[in-house]
Structure 1
Amino acid sequence: MTFTAHNIRLADGSETLPEAGWLIADSPWTQAALRSLRLFYGHRLAGRSIVDLGCLEGGYTLEFARAGMRATGVEVRRSNFENCLRVKDGAGVPDLAFVNDDVWNLAAHGPFDAAFCCGLLYHLDRPAAFIRLMAECVRDVIILHTHFATDTNEALFQLSPPAENEGLPGRWMHEHDLDDTSQLEAHKWTSWSNKRSFWPTKPALIQLLKECGFDMVYEQYDMLGRDIRGSMESGYYHQQGRSMFVAMRT
Structure 2
Amino acid sequence: MPHSSTFIEQHQPMSSHQDPRLRAIKEQEWFYEFHLPDGSKTKSCVKPSVRKIHDTREKMLCNALQASVSTTTHRASAIDVACHEGYYSLILAEYFESVTGIDKNPDSIQKAQAISDLLAPDRIRFENISLEAFGSASPFDFVLCYGLLYHHENPVNLIRMLATITRQTLCLETQVMPMDLVGHVEDGDYTNLRQIRGCFALCEDYPNSSEGGMTGFALVPSKAAVTYLLKESGFSTVEFVEPEADDYEQFTRGHRVVVVAQK
TM-score by length of 1: 0.76
- Secondary structure of the residue that 1:105 maps to in structure 2? coil
| Matching residue within 137, 149, 156 for 2:165 | 137
For residue 156 of structure 2, what is the aligned residue in structure 1? 128
The yes-or-no answer on 1:171 pairing with 2:201 is yes
Q: 1:107 to 1:43 in 2, by over 3 A?
A: same
The equivalent residue for 1:148 is: 176
CA contact (8 A) 2:30 2:45 kept: no
Give the 3 Å change call, closer, same or farther, for CA 63–79 of structure 1 in structure 2.
same
2:251 to 221, 237, 245: 237
Per-residue CA deviations over 1:196-224 (Å, capped at 9, x if unaligned) read: 00012110111111111211110001xx4
Q: Please tell me the residue identity of whatever aligns with 1:84.
A: A
Match for residue 203 of structure 1? 224
Q: Is the 8 A contact 1:28 1:225 kept in 2?
A: no
Give the distance between the partners of 1:43 and 1:151, measured in 2 at CA.
Answer: 33
Post-superposition shift, 1:65? 0.4
Partner SS for 1:151? coil
Structure 2 partner of 1:216: 237
Q: Which amino acid aligns with 1:48?
A: A
| Residue 191 (structure 1) aligns with | 213
Pairs within 5 Å for 1:4-83? 4-17=30-43, 27-42=55-70, 47-83=75-111
In structure 1, what is the equivalent of residue 142 of structure 2? 114
The percent of aligned pairs where both chains have the same amino acid is 22
CA separation of 1:100 and 1:19: change in aligned 2, threshold 3 A: closer
Give the SS at the match of 1:34.
Answer: helix
Offset of residue 108 of structure 1: 3.5
Supply the distance in 1 between the matched residues of 2:113 and 2:128 (Cα, whole angstroms). 10
Name the CA distance, whole Å, in 1 between partners of 2:213 and 2:44.
Answer: 27
What is the distance in 2 between the residues matched to 1:9 and 1:36?
A: 22
SS for the counterpart of 1:40 is helix
| Structure 2 gap segments, 5+ residues each | 1-24, 181-196
TM-score (norm 2): 0.72
| Runs of 4+, deviation exceeding 6 Å | 18-24
Structure 1 residue 13: deviation in Å?
4.2
- Structure 1's 38 and 64: CA in aligned 2 closer, same or farther, altered over 3 A? same
1:246 aligns to what?
260
Which piece of structure 1 moves more, 11-20 or 50-59? 11-20
Q: Which structure 1 residue ranges, 5 or more long, are not aligned?
A: 153-166, 179-183
CA–CA distance in structure 1, aligned partners of residues 218 and 135 of structure 2: 22
CA distance in 2, matches of 1:108, 1:100: 14
Residues 42-94 of structure 1: CA deviation (Å, up to 9, x unaligned): 18678421111111100100111023442211111111111011112111344
The answer to which structure has the higher helix fraction is 1
Change (3 A) 1:63 1:132: same
Letter of the structure 2 residue corresponding to residue 170 of structure 1: F
Q: Which has the larger radius of gyration?
A: 2
Q: Distance in 2 between matches of 1:203 and 1:225?
A: 21
- For 2:73 and 2:62, locate their aligned partners in 1 and report how far apart those are by CA, in whole Å: 10
Structure 1 residues 18 and 128, CA gap change in structure 2 (3 angstroms): closer
